[in-house]
């Protein structure tokens, strides 16, 4: 028989009992506060991504039920698959109890962090709980996603919300079925639950009745002190943007400046987290004159800004400012995520007007064709957008930062919700300092009209790829974009899947390079060479199907940044003396990272 861990014992039963009384008391306070807050909020329209939005979710599951019930053989076959799996697990567990060494019937995915505590494998009881859950959850996901005939939009909702349910009921999320929590509860006489409830109450108060989970030590970081610290100056400012020019670290630089448009859903310093992770610092070190747009965090005064405003008051003024700062009219540009979508519209707008100021473009995880966009499409349909519009109207024309933050967290609920529920509330621990999670929690507001335009025109109607989008008085035709383009995607990106990014190769009219990097939407982009992590794939051919591209691609270890630099440097002109911020026609306004990035969202 396999040895079990020593029994779970309570060192001080009296103290444990007292603490459980305190836990019950704090639980009552928590529940009363929650109920009071819901009473206050009951008249508010539902929010984007709110899992309680039954009126948008229920039709999807009704569609599922209709197609399942019309195919009884499918239901019978699904049942036939699960019961033998349960029987095998029971037999394997029984034989292990008798001392046999047998492999597990089912194991977690290699990326699944929930079951890494040794007791999940070393204790027969908890191993059985774990395997039972994995068998059931895998079977449930396979069953609901294998139904034929269901509407594709409904199928996405069914899969997404079934995954949310499956993640929520994991035994790792409960005291009695998680050995790590159970042991901590007994050995600490319940102090972990007491501390965890205090953490939960504090987070509820911080979120004004909504749960605002702390993912990191928010006091451990400060923008401009230990993150976003690459030296530079703000050289231009208008109500929508600050433009940062970074201080050169080489005696000579490429003649053509590099202008970066980051997403405004998050803050620009994802590209400048720390010296070791900073793409900006690395690009400066390669000899580029780097400019970065720092978008304003919209308040009531900017609530009326539109997507067109971001083009006409963001892209074009930034280009003019770079010319004033360097004397160079021609630039190369980078667009990241929605910043890349904006850059695409800008290039098409310039092409329509016969302008060619941007000589090459690089796109980080950016989409132009949204027909196969990522998991955010689950939240985007006519009903949900209407509800979102009502919510933004009530908030004064802004989508408050917490709303999109909650939505993005749901896309990776095990990593960004349940792991912190376990750590902060059940184990009673403080979250560890982590720069990336600090950035993830430093969200921005979004103007109503801009955001609704993006959701409707891109995600819902896909007008940009169809040549139907109109901005700045011009109808946008992506085929008129003839400049060289470098498309970066990531193999595990759930927001801008590589399949979606690849579609731009069929839309753009110039020479296009496409790569797939290892990891996801953030780590796939922020992967410095010195880290020696992940890999990337290249293929000079661009077949119609991205899977054919992958089949013929070559894998390379490590970061894709040097590959990009080799491509980009040939588009950047000769070397000239390095340019110091303030050395041109623009005066220095303040040190990087500027003021706009320090404004907190609601």
What is the structure's pLDDT at 501? Answer: 98
- What is d(CA 121, CA 3) in angstroms, rounded to the nearest whole number? 11
- What is d(CA 121, CA 90) in angstroms, rounded to the nearest whole number? 16
For residues 167-190, give the mean pLDDT. 90
Residue 236, beta-bridge partner list: 243
Whole-structure pTM value? 0.88
For residues 188-200, give the mean pLDDT. 87
pLDDT tier for residue 21 given thresholds of 50, 70 and 90? low
Largest Cα span, the chain: 82
Residue 261, beta-bridge partner list: 335
What is the structure's pLDDT at 5? Answer: 46
Residue with the bigger pLDDT between 15 and 450: it is 450
- What is d(CA 334, CA 159) in angstroms, rounded to the nearest whole number? 34
pLDDT tier for residue 9 given thresholds of 50, 70 and 90? low
pLDDT at 510 over 70: yes
Q: Output the six-digit token pair for 130.
A: 């774990």
pLDDT tier for residue 602 given thresholds of 50, 70 and 90? confident
When mean pLDDT is compared across 22-31, 148-157, 326-335, the lowest value belongs to 22-31
What is the structure's pLDDT at 346? Answer: 98
Query: Considering the chain, what percentage of its residues have pLDDT values greater than 90?
Result: 62
Sign of CA dihedral 531, 532, 533, 535: positive
CB within 8 Å of 157: residues ≥ 6 apart: 56, 57, 60, 378
What is the structure's pLDDT at 97? Answer: 86
**In the chain, what are the domains?**
13-206 (no CATH), 232-371+462-598 (3.40.50.1820)
What is the structure's pLDDT at 86? Answer: 86
- What is d(CA 596, CA 394) in angstroms, rounded to the nearest whole number? 25
When mean pLDDT is compared across 2-6, 232-236, 556-560, the lowest value belongs to 2-6
Angle, in degrees to the nearest 10, between helices 54-69 and 72-97: 90
- What is d(CA 320, CA 579) in angstroms, rounded to the nearest whole number? 17
- What is d(CA 510, CA 491) in angstroms, rounded to the nearest whole number? 24
For residues 534-555, give the mean pLDDT. 97
Residue with the bigger pLDDT between 240 and 207: it is 240
pLDDT digits (tens, 9 = 90+) for 337-372: 999 999 999 999 999 999 999 999 999 999 999 999
Residue 463: name the closest of 335, 345, 337, 314 by CA. 345
Residue with the bigger pLDDT between 59 and 508: it is 508
Residue 138: name the closest of 108, 168, 179, 114 by CA. 108
- What is d(CA 384, CA 377) in angstroms, rounded to the nearest whole number? 11
pLDDT at 38 over 90: no
Q: CA of 299: how far to CAs of 238, 390, 448, in Å?
A: 14, 18, 11
CB within 8 Å of 466: residues ≥ 6 apart: none
pLDDT at 4 over 70: no
What is the Rg, in whole angstroms, of the alpha carbon atoms belonging to the chain?
Answer: 26
pLDDT at 48 over 80: no
For residues 105-120, give the mean pLDDT. 91
Residue with the bigger pLDDT between 528 and 418: it is 528
Beta strands in 92-231 (DSSP E): none
Residue with the bigger pLDDT between 480 and 103: it is 480
For residues 101-119, give the mean pLDDT. 90
pLDDT at 3 over 60: no
The alpha carbon of residue 440 and the mean position of all alpha carbons in its chain are separated, in whole angstroms, by 8
pLDDT tier for residue 39 given thresholds of 50, 70 and 90? very low
Half-sphere exposure of 298 (CA within 13 A, CB side): 27
Mean of the per-residue pLDDT values for the chain? Answer: 89
Residue with the bigger pLDDT between 377 and 334: it is 334
pLDDT tier for residue 43 given thresholds of 50, 70 and 90? very low
pLDDT tier for residue 17 given thresholds of 50, 70 and 90? low
pLDDT at 55 over 70: no
pLDDT tier for residue 79 given thresholds of 50, 70 and 90? confident
First-to-last alpha carbon distance for the chain, in angstroms, is 57
The 8-class DSSP code of residue 456 comes to I
Task: Write down the catalytic residue from 229, 240, 337, 398.
Answer: 337
pLDDT at 49 over 60: no
Is 337 a residue of the active site? yes
b/e per residue, 275-305, with b = 16+ CB within 10 A? eebbbbbbbbebbbbbbbbbbbbbeeebbeb
For residues 156-167, give the mean pLDDT. 89
Write the burial class of residue 498 (CB in 10 Å: 0-12 exposed, 13-18 middle, 19+ buried). Answer: buried
- What is d(CA 388, CA 392) in angstroms, rounded to the nearest whole number? 6
SS3 call for 383: helix
Whether the CB-CB separation of 522 and 403 falls below 8 Å is answered with no
SS3 call for 240: coil
pLDDT digits (tens, 9 = 90+) for 224-281: 999 999 999 999 999 999 999 999 999 999 999 999 999 999 999 999 999 999 999 9
pLDDT digits (tens, 9 = 90+) for 326-337: 999 999 999 999
When mean pLDDT is compared across 316-325, 413-422, 590-599, the lowest value belongs to 413-422
Q: Output the six-digit token pair for 567.
A: 């491509």
pLDDT digits (tens, 9 = 90+) for 379-432: 888 888 988 899 899 889 999 888 877 777 887 888 888 899 999 999 999 999
Contacts by 459-467, CB closer than 8 A, 24 or more apart:
459/370, 459/373, 459/376, 459/377, 459/380, 460/380, 460/381, 460/382, 460/385, 462/369, 462/370, 462/371, 464/341, 464/344, 464/345, 464/368, 464/369, 464/370, 465/368, 465/369, 465/370, 465/371, 465/503, 465/507
């Amino acid at each position: 028989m396999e040895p079990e861990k020593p029994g779970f014992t309570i060192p001080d039963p009296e103290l444990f009992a007292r603490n459980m009384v305190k836990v019950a008391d704090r639980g009552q306070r928590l529940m009363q506060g929650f109920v009071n807050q819901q009473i206050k909020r009951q008249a508010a329209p539902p929010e984007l991504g709110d899992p309680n939005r039954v009126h948008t979710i229920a039709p999807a599951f009704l569609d599922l039920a209709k197609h399942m019930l019309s195919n009884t053989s499918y239901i019978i076959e699904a049942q036939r698959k699960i019961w033998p799996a349960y029987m095998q697990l029971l037999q394997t567990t029984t034989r292990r109890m008798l001392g046999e060494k047998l492999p597990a019937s089912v194991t977690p995915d290699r990326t699944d962090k929930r079951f890494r505590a040794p007791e999940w494998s070393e204790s027969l009881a908890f191993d059985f709980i774990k395997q039972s859950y994995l068998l059931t959850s895998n079977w449930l996901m396979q069953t609901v996603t294998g139904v034929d005939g269901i509407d594709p939009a409904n199928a996405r909702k069914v899969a997404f919300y079934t995954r949310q349910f499956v993640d929520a009921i994991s035994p790792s999320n409960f005291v009695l079925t998680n050995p790590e929590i159970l042991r901590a509860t007994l050995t600490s006489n319940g102090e972990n639950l007491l501390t965890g409830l205090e953490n939960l109450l504090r987070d509820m108060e911080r979120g004004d009745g909504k749960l605002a989970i702390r993912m990191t030590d928010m006091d451990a970081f400060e923008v401009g002190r230990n993150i976003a610290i690459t030296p530079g100056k703000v050289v231009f400012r208008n109500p929508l943007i600050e433009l940062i020019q970074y201080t050169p670290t080489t005696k000579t630089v490429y003649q053509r400046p590099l202008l970066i448009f980051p997403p405004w859903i998050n803050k620009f310093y994802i590209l400048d987290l720390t010296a070791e992770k900073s793409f900006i610092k690395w690009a400066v070190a390669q000899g580029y004159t780097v400019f970065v747009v720092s978008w304003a965090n919209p308040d009531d005064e900017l609530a009326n800004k539109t997507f067109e405003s971001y083009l006409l008051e963001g892209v074009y003024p930034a280009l003019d400012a770079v010319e004033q700062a360097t004397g160079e009219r021609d630039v190369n540009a980078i667009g990241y995520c929605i910043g890349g979508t904006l850059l695409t519209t800008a290039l098409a707008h310039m092409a329509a007007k016969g302008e060619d100021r941007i000589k090459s473009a690089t796109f980080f995880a950016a989409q132009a064709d949204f027909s196969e966009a990522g998991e955010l499409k689950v939240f985007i349909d006519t009903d949900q957008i209407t509800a979102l519009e009502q919510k933004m109207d009530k908030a004064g024309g802004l989508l408050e930062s917490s709303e999109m933050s909650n939505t993005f967290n749901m896309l990776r609920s095990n990593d960004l919700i349940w792991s912190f529920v376990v750590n902060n509330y059940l184990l009673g621990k403080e979250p560890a300092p982590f720069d990336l999670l600090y950035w993830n929690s430093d969200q921005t507001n979004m103007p109503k009209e801009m955001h609704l335009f993006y959701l409707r025109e891109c995600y819902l109607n896909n007008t940009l790829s169809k040549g139907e989008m109109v901005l700045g008085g011009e109808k946008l035709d992506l085929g008129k974009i003839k400049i060289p383009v470098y498309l970066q995607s990531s193999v595990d990106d759930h927001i801008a899947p590589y399949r979606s990014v690849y579609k731009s190769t069929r839309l753009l009219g110039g020479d296009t390079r496409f790569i797939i990097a290892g990891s996801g939407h953030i780590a796939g982009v922020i992967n410095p060479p010195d880290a020696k992590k992940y890999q990337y794939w290249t293929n000079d051919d661009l077949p119609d199907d991205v899977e054919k591209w992958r089949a013929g691609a070559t894998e390379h270890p490590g970061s894709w940044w040097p590959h990009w630099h080799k491509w980009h440097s040939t588009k950047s002109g000769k070397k000239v003396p390095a340019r110091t911020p303030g050395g041109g026609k623009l005066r220095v306004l303040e040190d990087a990272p500027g003021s706009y990035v320090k404004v907190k969202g609601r």
